[in-house]
Amino acid sequence: MKPIMEKIKVQVPATSANLGSGFDCAGLAYDLYNVFEFEPIDEGLIIDGCDEKYANKDNPAYAAYSAVCKKIGAPVSVKITILETNVPVSRGLGSSATLICAGAYAANRLYGQPLSWDEVFEICTEIEGHPDNVAPALFGSFCTSLITNGKPRTVRFEVSPKIHFTVLIPNFEVKTRDARSVLPHEIERDDAIYNMSRIALLPYAFEKGDFDLLKVVTRDRLHQKYRKKLFKNIDDIKKQAYECGAISFMISGAGSTCLCLSERSIEKELNEKISALPNGWVAKELRISVNGTREVL
Ligand code: HSE
């Protein structure tokens, strides 16, 4: 099987998963991208543009690339160049999903797109272990997802331009493994109902930009209260965010980044307030990416 082009450049957006109530099933994509190039080669694997310890077959970009190639019967030898890394690593902004989606998309596109987007999504979800980051990373905008009979399904919603998204990124990492290990194995029925009722209205609230509803539906009782202890000075940061006009504050994915929603831009004011606080928190306003994973020239 021969590629239909010599190489391909792919960009994949950063994502915030969970969004409060949508634990493991909701996520949205930002206009902050990692950019990769994939070039089939005669033999072996070359990965350029990252630390040597990540330049091997365990790299998620290669795992996804080779998974697609094996499925379609294409050769797996490839040179991967990481051209731009704008998404912070291990900060809850979906950096591993960018690698996975890039690898899967690139392999499929290089060999003439024998797989549908749904099949690419399925491979990405299998590698990532959950669909909440890879769905918006692939399809853009705001996605809610589920897994049925081992297969992921996702629905994409529009996001109102009225909503301002400001991520707060600290200088410490929270490992997803640690953030999952602090969660209880059993939950109270009231807490389950609390989250279920909120996630049911979450897409509507994002689509309409209904701030009264957003305040309510982004709240959660299933994960954030348990994870808080893994964060440094999160209460101070939250207080400053609300004082600057945030209407909602949540952990982005498993952290360490937090996300706040507001009716106006609060990035500048928030940075002035938090710059004196420990742990290097930086506020950054991001727009929604409607595109997801795309080929770039
Ligand atoms: N939904 C996942 C979690 C996102 O919160 O653990 C982590 O990538």
Nearest residue by C-alpha to atom 5 in ligand 1? 254
Cα 247 to ligand 1 centroid, rounded to whole Å:
23
Q: Do the Cβ atoms of 107 and 22 come closer than 8 Å? A: no
- Quick: pLDDT tens for 241-257: 999 999 999 999 999 99
| 99 within domain boundaries | yes
Q: 255 and 176 in one domain?
A: yes
Residue 253 CB less than 6 A away from ligand 1: yes
CATH of the domain at 194: 3.30.70.890
CATH of the domain at 12: 3.30.230.10
**What would the mean pLDDT of 288-293 be, rounded to a whole number?**
96
| 47 within domain boundaries | yes
- Quick: pLDDT tens for 122-165: 999 999 999 999 999 999 999 999 999 999 999 999 999 999 99
Q: What is the mean pLDDT of the chain?
A: 96
| 2 within domain boundaries | no
Q: Do the Cβ atoms of 285 and 164 come closer than 8 Å? A: yes
Q: 92 and 178 in one domain?
A: no
Q: 39 and 25 in one domain?
A: yes
Q: 171 and 95 in one domain?
A: no
Residue length of the chain = 297
Residue 136 CB less than 6 A away from ligand 1: no
Q: Do the Cβ atoms of 73 and 112 come closer than 8 Å? A: no
Report the predicted TM-score, pTM, of the whole model to 2 decimal places. Answer: 0.94
| 1 within domain boundaries | no
| 14 within domain boundaries | yes
Q: 100 and 181 in one domain?
A: no
Residue 232 CB less than 6 A away from ligand 1: no
Spatial CA neighbour of 238 closest among 253, 249, 225, 223: 249
1 pLDDT more than 90: no
User: What pLDDT, on a 0 to 100 scale, did the predictor assign at position 51?
Assistant: 87
Q: Do the Cβ atoms of 110 and 40 come closer than 8 Å? A: yes
Per-residue pLDDT band at 192 (split at 50, 70, 90): very high
User: What pLDDT, on a 0 to 100 scale, did the predictor assign at position 105?
Assistant: 98
Q: 186 and 136 in one domain?
A: no
CA distances 281 to 104, 180, 218, Å, are 33, 23, 22
> Among 52-56, 87-91, 210-214, whose mean pLDDT is lowest?
52-56
The share of the chain scoring above pLDDT 70, in percent, equals 100
Q: 207 and 110 in one domain?
A: no
Q: 176 and 152 in one domain?
A: no
Q: 223 and 141 in one domain?
A: no
**What would the mean pLDDT of 6-29 be, rounded to a whole number?**
97
Q: 228 and 109 in one domain?
A: no
Whole domain around residue 102: which residue ranges? Answer: 8-158+289-295
